[in-house]
Structure 1
Amino acid sequence: MFTEAIEAILRDHATSEAVCAIGKGGASASIWDAVEEAGFLALLTPESAGGAGLSLSAIAPVFTAFGRYAVPVPFAQSIAARALLRDTEVAAPAGMTALAGACRRREDGSLEAPQVPFGMTCDHVLANVDGDLLLLDAARAERKASGVHGSVSGTLDWRRDAVPLPFGSNGEEVLLFSAAIHATAIAGAMDRVFAMTLQYCNDRSQFGKSIGKFQAVQHQLSVMAQQVASASMASELAFSGAGAAPERLATAIAKARTSMAVPLVASTAHALHGAIGVTAEYDLQRYTRRLHEWRMADGSEAFWNRMVGKAILTQTQATIVDFARTAPYGIAV
């Protein structure tokens, strides 16, 4: 129900023209206001606090939809931030909130949040600083753009007097939520990229028939479909737990698997589209740029695979199959 309602809003407001305009520095108020006014930012907020009180598994399709439209606004992050503030006395701030899963505190007390998704446009940053939870005012930060075309990610620096005291010890949940969100975003964007590629191959004719009927093209499409399906299943794993935040190992597997699929899916899509795929007027380049950006956000597959590998080496399960079947869910064999 919520997914369909949000997708209806995104179809009207997150058009190609609107998204491209935001990427060029335009205002995002129309998209943000449409979702905020509908009350969707409180989907994970408990009912006792005026929210919808959705479970993680119920919110996953919503986060995937944001990826499917490559929304350049931190909706998912703002929803998660409100959930992460559940056990604190800090009220959810107004405006757009980004998540910074790995901040660095310098010896002089200043703080750096490297390559924060939506860091150039957000109003606040909910940050993990050595396991502590901090809510930072983005307006008081020095922002440095990533330099990537069309990206709103950036590195934020706060001076010592702009860094508040921590108000929670669940900082790692920021990293886990952010990584899980990017896993679903990758899955959603891949779904759109595959649909665009399949449609193009069916419409584009060569030697008297659509290129989608050539065996070589069909092979590439089938491999691409396999990667997209695998990424979709992996992203759901991150939100399969019963807790208030994604589980550590499940998130690691999800982010690693979805990130691993990005190079193949993006390169295959561009190969099958030919030259049109890189033109500014065609949406494919917008989605593949996002895929590569989300692959690196919160750590690439190398970072998360290392975490999964350590878990396997210390496993108590009898076999790898038992590990894969039970460990991500915290089930004892």
Structure 2
Amino acid sequence: MFTEAIEAILRDRATSEAVRAIENGGSAASIWNAVEEAGFLELLTPESAGGAGLPLSSIEPIFTAFGRYAVPVPLAQSIAARALLRDSGVTAPAGMTTLAGSCLRRADGSLKAPQVPFGMICDNVLANVDGALLLLDATQAEREPDGVHGSSCGTLRWRSGAVPVALGSNGAEVLLFSAAIHAAAIAGAMDRVFAMTLQYCNDRSQFGKSIGKFQAVQHQLSVMAEHVASAGMASALAFSGTGAVPERLATAIGKARTSMAVPLIAATAHALHGAIGVTAEYDLQLYTRRMHEWRIADGSEIFWNGVVGSAVLAQEHGTIVDFARTAPHCVAA
């Protein structure tokens, strides 16, 4: 029910024209206000606090939809921030809140948050600082863009006087939630890219028939379909836990698998589209650019495969098959 309602808003507000306008410096208020006014930022907030109280498994299709529409505002991050603030006693601030999974504290007390998603347009940042949870005012930060073309990703720096006291010791959960969100976003974007590629191959004719009927093209589409399906399952796994925050090992598997598929999906989609696929006017690049950025966000597959590998080595008994079968319920090292 919630997924369909949000997708209706996204179809109307998050059009490719609207996304391009925001990338070019336009206002993101139309998309943000529509979702906020509908109350959808409180989907993970407990019912006792006026929210929907959805479990993680129910929020995953919504986060995937945000990737499928290349949503250029931190909707998923703002929803997650409310879940992460659950024990702090602090009400979620007004405006757009994003997540910073890894911050650096300097000797002088200042903070640096590299590659913060939506860091250039957000109002607040919920950050992990050495395991502590901090809510930072983004308007007091020095901002520097560091994302791909058209991205609002940025590195933010706060002077020591602008750094508040910690709200709790659950800062590490910020990284997990942010990584799981990016896994879902990748899965959604891949789904859109595959649909565009399949449609193009059916429409584009060469030598008197659609290129989708050539065996070589069909093979490439089949490989794409396998990876897109795997990415969807990996995203669902990341949100399969019963707690308020994605579990570490499930998140590691989900982020590693989705990130791993990005180069192949993006390269194959552009190869099958040919020259039109690299033009600014064509929508494909709206998704492949983001896929590449989300691949490295919160750690690429290299980092998260290391987490999974540590968990494998930590198990005392059983085979790799046993580990794969029970992995969602294991505790990573």
Q: TM-score, normalised by structure 2?
A: 0.98
Q: Which amino acid is 1:169 matched to?
A: S
Q: Which amino acid is 2:281 matched to?
A: E
Residue 287 of structure 1 is matched in structure 2 by: 287
**Alignment partners' CA distance in 2, 1:21 and 1:242:** 39
Runs of 4+ in 1 over 6 A off after TM superposition: none
Q: Which amino acid is 1:9 matched to?
A: I
Residue 44 of structure 1 aligns to a residue whose secondary structure is coil
Q: Which amino acid is 1:322 matched to?
A: D
Quick check: 2:115–2:147 contact (8 Å CA) kept in 1? no
Quick check: 2:148–2:289 contact (8 Å CA) kept in 1? no
**Alignment partners' CA distance in 1, 2:164 and 2:3:** 36
1:237 aligns with 2:207: no
RMSD: 0.8
Query: Which structure 2 segments of 5+ residues have no match?
Result: none
Query: How much does 1:317 deviate?
Result: 3.8
Query: How much does 1:315 deviate?
Result: 1.1
Residue 162 of structure 1 is matched in structure 2 by: 162
Residue 21 of structure 2 is matched in structure 1 by: 21
Q: Which amino acid is 2:138 matched to?
A: A
1:304 aligns with 2:309: no
Residue 234 of structure 1 aligns to a residue whose secondary structure is helix
Query: How much does 1:326 deviate?
Result: 1.0
Residue 69 of structure 1 is matched in structure 2 by: 69
Residue 271 of structure 1 aligns to a residue whose secondary structure is helix
Residue 11 of structure 1 is matched in structure 2 by: 11
Query: Which structure 1 segments of 5+ residues have no match?
Result: none
Query: How much does 1:268 deviate?
Result: 0.1
Residue 123 of structure 2 is matched in structure 1 by: 123
Query: How much does 1:264 deviate?
Result: 0.0
Could you give the per-residue CA deviations for residues 103-160 of structure 1, whole angstroms, max 9, x where no partner exists?
0000000000000010000000000001000000000000000153101000000000
**Alignment partners' CA distance in 2, 1:292 and 1:211:** 27
Within-5 A mapping of 1:183-262? 183-262=183-262
Quick check: 2:148–2:293 contact (8 Å CA) kept in 1? no
Q: Percent identity?
A: 81
**Alignment partners' CA distance in 2, 1:136 and 1:316:** 42
Residue 269 of structure 1 is matched in structure 2 by: 269
Residue 320 of structure 1 is matched in structure 2 by: 320
**Alignment partners' CA distance in 2, 1:315 and 1:271:** 42
Could you give the per-residue CA deviations for residues 23-67 of structure 1, whole angstroms, max 9, x where no partner exists?
111100000000000000000000111000000001000000000
Q: 1:76 to 1:147 in 2, by over 3 A?
A: closer
**Alignment partners' CA distance in 1, 2:186 and 2:76:** 13
Query: How much does 1:15 deviate?
Result: 0.6
1:96 aligns with 2:80: no
Residue 125 of structure 1 aligns to a residue whose secondary structure is strand
Could you give the per-residue CA deviations for residues 176-233 of structure 1, whole angstroms, max 9, x where no partner exists?
0000000000000000000000000000000000000000000000000000000000
Query: How much does 1:96 deviate?
Result: 0.4
Residue 58 of structure 2 is matched in structure 1 by: 58
Could you give the per-residue CA deviations for residues 61-83 of structure 1, whole angstroms, max 9, x where no partner exists?
00000000010000000000001
Q: Which amino acid is 1:115 matched to?
A: Q
Q: 1:317 to 1:326 in 2, by over 3 A?
A: farther
**Alignment partners' CA distance in 2, 1:317 and 1:235:** 27
Equivalenced residues, count: 331
